[in-house]
Amino acid sequence: MNPNHQSSHNLSKPVILQVEDLHTSFKSFEGEVKAVNGVNLELRKNSILCLVGESGSGKSVTALSILNLIYSPGRIDKGKILFNGKNLFSLSENELRQIRGKEISMIFQDPTSALNPLLNVGSHMEEMFMAHGNTDKKSIKERSIDLLRQMDLPNPEHILKQHPFQLSGGMAQRVMIAMAMVWNPPVLIADEITSSLDVTLQADILDRIRRLRDYNHSSILLITHDMGVVAQVADHVAVMYAGSVVEQAPTIDLFKNPKHPYTSALLQTLPRLDGPKRRLNPIRGAPPTMIDLPDKCAFLDRCFKATSECRLNTRPRLLEADQDHMVACYNPIINT
Domains of the chain: 14-103+185-327 (3.40.50.300), 114-182 (no CATH)
Asked whether the whole model's pTM tops 0.85, one would answer yes
Cβ pair 182, 147 in contact under 8 A: yes
C-alpha to C-alpha distance for 37 and 189, rounded to whole angstroms = 20
Measured over the CA atoms of residue 29, residue 22, residue 41 and residue 94, the dihedral's sign is positive
- Burial class from Cβ neighbours inside 10 Å (0-12, 13-18, 19+) for residue 248 reads buried
Residue whose C-alpha is closest to residue 305's, from 334, 282, 277, 325: 334
- Report pLDDT for 1: 61
pLDDT over 90 (residue 145): yes
- Report pLDDT for 7: 45
Between 121-130, 138-147, 193-202, 223-232, the lowest mean confidence (pLDDT) is in 193-202
Cβ pair 305, 333 in contact under 8 A: yes
- Report pLDDT for 273: 67
Instruction: Tell me the average pLDDT across 299-326.
Output: 93
Could you report the per-residue pLDDT of 69-84, keeping only the tens digit for each? 999 999 999 999 999 9
- Report pLDDT for 197: 80
Between 233-237, 292-296, 297-301, the lowest mean confidence (pLDDT) is in 292-296
Could you report the per-residue pLDDT of 246-275, keeping only the tens digit for each? 999 999 999 999 999 999 999 988 777 666
- Report pLDDT for 335: 75
State yes or no: cis peptide before 73, omega within 30 of 0: yes
Could you report the per-residue pLDDT of 57-115, keeping only the tens digit for each? 999 999 999 999 999 999 999 999 999 989 999 999 999 999 999 999 999 888 888 89
- Report pLDDT for 294: 79
Go through the chain and tell me how many residues it has: 336
> What CA–CA distances, in Å, run from 256 to 3, 217, 225?
9, 27, 19
Could you report the per-residue pLDDT of 1-10, keeping only the tens digit for each? 666 544 444 5
Q: How many CB atoms neighbour CB 184 within 10 A?
A: 14
Q: What are the strands of the beta sheet with 15-28, ordered from one edge?
A: 31-44, 15-28, 74-83, 86-87
C-alpha to C-alpha distance for 280 and 271, rounded to whole angstroms = 7
- Report pLDDT for 26: 96
- Report pLDDT for 2: 62
Which conformational region is residue 148 in: left (phi greater than 0), alpha (psi within -120 to 50 degrees), or beta? Answer: alpha
Q: Beta partners for 75?
A: 25
